[in-house]
Structure formats: structure tokens, C-alpha cells
């Protein structure tokens, strides 16, 4: 089985289309979305429609909750808050209900999927150190947990016998015996690792490998849409530099 894992689309239709084409070319069997379909970008409705049609498993992200009033907007920085308020105005009742019904954590095959953290996922914390990773390894039993939220692809692994946790920015990960993994697949629609290419992952259970890929997309069109929608211009400019 080949799983395609995407996260943090953030209403970037151009990036989503490029990623899904790449996943189709790689022969993916099922699609997983680790949250934040909306926010920041200018195509929330179309991106949501595509995710609903394509993804077998989808969990909620903090921007998804923010856009339907399930999260206090004081949590967000000013630009993100403006984008969420704009997004809220675009959504119809059916789309709001869809986002409201998304679970925070779901299983996908033998893996776990959550937007932020297995530990208290509703608090929208980050796994950004071996210390926070170790705390979260205690909260689930699956061998692999896929996350998003930070927009930075990174792999945390833990030796089961020693309980020792480490991290790496490897793009190809062998799911080894005696190890457990938290894998951040990066962001489709707003990468923040100084690489503007859209990020996603493929988990091949037959070879026990996860690979993180990057793909080009039409950044200029995505930027123009953001500006034309009256969204903060900074949300457009950052797409060029991946920050």
C-alpha cells in the first residue's frame, strides 16, 4: 500500500494541484491530509472540495477550526487572523459543517495522523525538539505518526529499547524494527524551511519507506490571487522564499 500524505494546504490551489499530480504519478493508493486545508491562501472552497473528493483520511487543523469559530482568533498573528476572517466569509454552511466534523486524530492503516501533537491535540502545540517529541511518543502506540503544523519537514525517531529520541532532516526514511517515528511531512501551500517548493510524503508499506518530496508549482498565480482577494500582501510574498 502506498499512502500519499499532505498537510497545510492553506487554500493554495496551485500547490495542491501540483502535489496531487505528483502523487498520482507515484502510484499512490490512498491519500491522507494532516490538517489545515484553509487559511492564508485565496482558494479555500476549491481546496476543500478537492480534499473531500480525494483524501481517505483527513484531520482538522488549527486554521480549519479558526475559520468556523472553534478557536479563539487571539491565537493567530495579525496576518493569519485577517486571512481566517476572510476565509470564514467564503464558506457556506455545508463547508463549515464538514470542517466542524473533522476529527483531531485518526488512524490510517497502521499509522496515526494528527495535525499538531498526539498529546493534547486541541492545544495546537508544536513538536520542535527531541524533548517535545519524547513527550508525544508516550501518547500513542502506533509505529508511525504523521503530523504537520510547523510547515517544516522533519523526522523524530525513538529507539524502543533505549527510549532515546533523535531528529533528522532526512528525505528518505526506512521504518526500521525497534524504532518509532513522528514524521512531519512539511507544507503543501506555505513551506517555511526556506525552500518554496511544495512538500509532501509517500509512505510505502511494502518497502517500509517514507520519502518526503518537493515539487514546483505556479507561485506567481497563487500570489496574484492572494493580492487580488485583498488578503495581506505578506502572505503572497513569503511564498517565493519559503518562510
pLDDT, tens digit (0-9, with 9 covering 90-100), for 204-239: 999 999 999 999 999 999 999 999 999 999 999 999
> How many other CB atoms are found less than 10 A from the CB of residue 104?
19
pLDDT at 114: 98
How crowded is residue 24: how many other Cβ atoms within 10 Å of its Cβ?
Answer: 12
**Distance separating alpha carbons of residues 73 and 149, to the nearest angstrom:** 16
CATH number for the domain harbouring residue 126: 3.60.21.10
Longest dimension (CA), the chain: 55
| Collapsed DSSP state (helix, strand, coil) of residue 24 | helix
Q: Inter-axis angle of helices 13-25 and 44-54, to 10 degrees?
A: 20
Q: How far is CA 32 from CA 13, 105, 214, in A?
A: 17, 12, 17
Confidence (pLDDT) at 8: 98
pLDDT tens digits, 142-153: 999 999 999 999
First to last CA, the chain: 33
Q: How many CA atoms lie within 13 A of 44 on its CB side?
A: 25
User: So what's the pLDDT on residue 163?
Assistant: 84
CB count in 10 Å sphere of residue 216: 12
Virtual torsion, Cα 219, 196, 165, 28, nearest 10 deg: 50
The total number of structural domains that make up the chain = 1
For 152-211, the pLDDT digits (tens) are: 999 999 999 888 999 999 999 999 999 999 999 999 999 999 999 999 999 999 999 999
Q: What is the pLDDT of residue 147?
A: 98
Read off the pLDDT band of 61 (50, 70, 90): very high
CA 208 to chain centroid = 21
pLDDT at 176: 96
β-bridge partners, 112:
107, 145
Spatial separation of the C-alpha atoms in residues 164 and 73, rounded to whole Å: 37
pLDDT band at 98 (very low <50, low <70, confident <90, very high): very high
Give CA–CA dist 48/198, Å, rounded.
17
Which structural domain range is residue 166 located in?
Answer: 2-241
- Say if CB 230 and CB 82 are below 8 A apart: no
Q: How far apart are CA 212 and CA 134, in angstroms?
A: 22
- The SS3 assignment for 45 reads helix
Amino acid at each position: 500500500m502506498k499512502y500519499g500524505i499532505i498537510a497545510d494546504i492553506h487554500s493554495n490551489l496551485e500547490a495542491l494541484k501540483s502535489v496531487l499530480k505528483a502523487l498520482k504519478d507515484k502510484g499512490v493508493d490512498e491519500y491522507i491530509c494532516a490538517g489545515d486545508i484553509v487559511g492564508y491562501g485565496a482558494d479555500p472552497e476549491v481546496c476543500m472540495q478537492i480534499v473531500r473528493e480525494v483524501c481517505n483520511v483527513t484531520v482538522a487543523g488549527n486554521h480549519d477550526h479558526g475559520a468556523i469559530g472553534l478557536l479563539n482568533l487571539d491565537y493567530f498573528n495579525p496576518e493569519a487572523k485577517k486571512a481566517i476572517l476572510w476565509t470564514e466569509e467564503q464558506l457556506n454552511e455545508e463547508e463549515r459543517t464538514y470542517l466542524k466534523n473533522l476529527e483531531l486524530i485518526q488512524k490510517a492503516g497502521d499509522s496515526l495522523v494528527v495535525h499538531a501533537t498526539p498529546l493534547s491535540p486541541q492545544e495546537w502545540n508544536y513538536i520542535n525538539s527531541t524533548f517535545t517529541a519524547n513527550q508525544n511518543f508516550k501518547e500513542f502506540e502506533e509505529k508511525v505518526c504523521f503530523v504537520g503544523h510547523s510547515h517544516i519537514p522533519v523526522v523524530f525517531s525513538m529507539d524502543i529499547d533505549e527510549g532515546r529520541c533523535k531528529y533528522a532532516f532526512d528525505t528518505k526514511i526506512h521504518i526500521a524494527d525497534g524504532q518509532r517515528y513522528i514524521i512531519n511531512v512539511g507544507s503543501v501551500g506555505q513551506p517555511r524551511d526556506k525552500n518554496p517548493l511544495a512538500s509532501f510524503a509517500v509512505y510505502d508499506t511494502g518497502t517500509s519507506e517514507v520519502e518526503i518530496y518537493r515539487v514546483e508549482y505556479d507561485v506567481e498565480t497563487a500570489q496574484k490571487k492572494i493580492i487580488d482577494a485583498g488578503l495581506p500582501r505578506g502572505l503572497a510574498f513569503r511564498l517565493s522564499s519559503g518562510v
